[in-house]
Structure 1
């Protein structure tokens, strides 16, 4: 039985070079993963340069060299045959001479597993020039194969190569001021937490749209396991809501009827919206096929109404984790699995935002319990804040550490120099 791609990246994709050892590679091989957008097995170095260039023009990935295909399924890794130790230098030289523009090659990490000398070729698509040309050809990665890029894709790669790195401070999709949008015309939440990510899809993704199975996969990923098709919240999210209002009926996931079409869907769950003036919480997951369908934006929002009080205890800290966890461990893998057939490995850059649409004049200080952050240096209001999650920590699957580090950085922006955040329930 095949094992699906993990929801979060294996450490082999992001660990420091000196940490990629025989135990890590053996453990990765034991997963029995099929070749995909981000994984390939090669018996020798001959075809590696082409595949590495295709991955660089797509999502990046790992090529394990010295692994024979499985005789029953050539998309799986089989017997370890190994390569000569000198093949590392030959491969690096080959790529350096073939690639245009020159000056970039992927990491090539030698590892000995069960007496066989293997090469782990790790392609970081963020560091590669775009497009990366190999022997006068531009190829991209589709599923487990390399394909020629069409003119539209080549144009997109050139645009990406020239585009600046996105910033939450300038991107209106992620800015804290934008987070009140779903509640315009209603009672604005006291505190709003958003986890957001955006990723480039495959070159023919302009033809993609959301269908019933895709939306159902999203709902089921955020729901408790059930054989009846129920869309009740997962235990984690249900427990989070119970900390805000145990007296209130919790609505299961429902599709927002006022927002949705073939490339946009929003689902919500939580306490009844009619409970105006009472403490309550609402969860919202939004997915959009942006840029004519060539990229996927996914937001997971947690809106909290506190009935004029501060958020109880450290609930907001745990809520930040739950938003990130729901986005990266549930929503994003479900969407990309349905649209593309695999989870993104490694996960795309992810941002966390905290804002207060209810009262921007007095800031978040009126609504957040910041006792755990210790003494504050300076005065002024706690303004809405946003920060990227550390990609290396996210890639190794430690979301609790990633959220904690991000919140420490946000606390520093709020002038809390020595915050001691509570331990997250991961």
Structure 2
């Protein structure tokens, strides 16, 4: 967490505010930028009713919620703002309002309104309305949210999504997979605390979302982009369905007029799960490749394919299921993470074990991704330890600024550095 959230007020300088604005962090659950107007009070009330945060008064924002410029506010704005909060909020309440003079200006200041959610008399009404903070915006509280705030305040204290780094072994990855690309997207649906089931028709909704998603692009890039064969596919098939969990699968395989018995396959598995007391809605999308005899994937293909996997899970399937469950078209941005993995040692396919058994270096660990992936494009690597898997979070502000390709690229850079590539060379992605 940035120091502005907890540093004593008398130690905060204008340079620190400049540094924060220079990070270009877009508006989110705990950050808002305002220059003037009563919308500031709405934002303060919304954060107070949710997770708290900081409202920067005197900082302009762009179309995507990214801060653009410190324009400041006139002297006397702090007193006016405090007086408004004391009279308009019900019950009367004021958070900490820190006034910071702008260097080189005798009549302008920046205000930091710091909201500690533990100090708020919830629910806090603004002109008779209860507002809550969603990802980068304020919304009127629904009846269910208001009831939760009144009857279960402890459970409402932190509805932020929690990141769960699920490795492929933990989620029933098929044993024959030589290479697994995974994306996990989740979001807390705190307004559904009383309901512990997925909406009816979830399987159909998932299929519709996947058919509109770029998941096919990921599969074609990973396999068919490296062959001259035409792809064939099976339909999406439900393989598990309960009140809280749905799992579907689809198979892709290359065919050609001369040889239809090609042993290269890609299976895609989509798992949707609702679990926990929050509850947490989670989408796990796995692209599982069985490589042809003697073949390896090129890391550049993974670079190109993984953004489509992540985008399909977080921007297509998850929002559709969340909307079906809540009836709301908006909500906080999901927490998204991506993974690259080979098969577990005890589940590695037999032909992979035998074909590499002469290599004493690589066969020390049958899960070594170097058996299945050519990492040459990443550059020089320090150390000779095997690479079993990689995992990294995809950050929301990087998605906003760089697009899915650029944001996943940053996650892959983290993985590569964990693998020992101190200066990894990755492809540049244009923002879609």
Is the TM value for this pair above 0.5? yes
C-alpha distance in 2, partners of 1:326/1:189? Answer: 21
CA contact (8 A) 2:199 2:325 kept: no
| Aligned equivalent of 1:50 | 45
CA distance in 1, matches of 2:204, 2:54: 29
Per-residue deviation, residues 361-394 of structure 1 (Å, max 9, x unmatched): 2311111110111121111211212111233202
The answer on whether the counterparts of 2:49 and 2:122 sit within 8 Å (CA) in structure 1 is: no
Residue 221 (structure 2) pairs with residue 236 (structure 1)? no
In 1, Cα distance between equivalents of 2:43 and 2:270: 39
- The structure whose Rg is larger is 2
The match for 1:291 is: 276
Q: Distance in 2 between matches of 1:107 and 1:250?
A: 62
Give CA deviations for 1:220-244 in whole Å, capped at 9, x if unaligned: 222149xxxxxxx865246335336
Per-residue displacement from partner, 1:125-155 (whole Å, max 9, x unpaired)?
xxx75x5453354777399313353466422
Distance in 1 separating the partners of 2:20 and 2:397: 9
Determine whether 1:311 maps to 2:297: yes
C-alpha distance 42-102 of structure 1, shift in aligned 2 (>3 A): closer
1:89-100 mapped onto 2 (5 Å cutoff): 89-90=78-79, 93=82
Q: In the TM superposition, what is the alpha-carbon distance from 1:94 to its structure 2 partner?
A: 6.7
User: Across the two proteins, how many residue pairs are aligned to each other?
Assistant: 342
Q: Following TM superposition, by how much is the alpha carbon of 1:336 offset from its aligned partner in structure 2, in angstroms?
A: 1.9
Choose from 165, 176, 182 the match for 1:188. Answer: 176
Alignment-derived partner of residue 406 in structure 2: 401
2:175 pairs with 1:177: no
CA–CA distance in 2 between the matches of 1:200 and 1:335? 12
Describe the SS at the equivalent of 2:153: helix
Q: Please state if 1:207 is matched with 2:195.
A: yes
**Distance in 2 of aligned mates of 1:298 and 1:61:** 31
C-alpha change, 1:237 and 1:372, in structure 2 (3 Å) is closer
How far does residue 278 in structure 1 lie from its aligned partner after superposition?
1.3
Q: Is the 8 A contact 1:176 1:384 kept in 2?
A: no
Unaligned runs of 5+ in 2: 1-18, 59-72, 101-109, 125-129, 255-259, 347-364
Is 1:329 the counterpart of 2:324? The answer is no
1:375 paired residue number? 380
Flag structure 1 segments of 5+ consecutive residues without an equivalent: 1-14, 26-37, 66-83, 109-118, 169-173, 226-232
The CA RMSD measured in Å over matched residues stands at 4.8
CA displacement at 1:209 relative to structure 2: 2.9
Greater relative contact order structure (CA < 8 Å, 6+ sep): 1
CA displacement, residues 265-306 of structure 1 (integer Å, 9 cap, x when unaligned): 122223269x99811111122111111461111111111111
- Name the SS for the 1:325 alignment partner: helix
User: With structure 1 as the length reference, what TM-score do the two structures score?
Assistant: 0.64
Equivalent residue runs for 1:43-192 within 5 Å: 43=38, 47-56=42-51, 89-90=78-79, 93=82, 131-135=117-121, 137=123, 141=132, 144-146=139-141, 147=146, 149-150=148-149, 153-158=152-157, 166=163, 168=165, 174-179=166-171, 181-183=172-174, 187-192=175-180
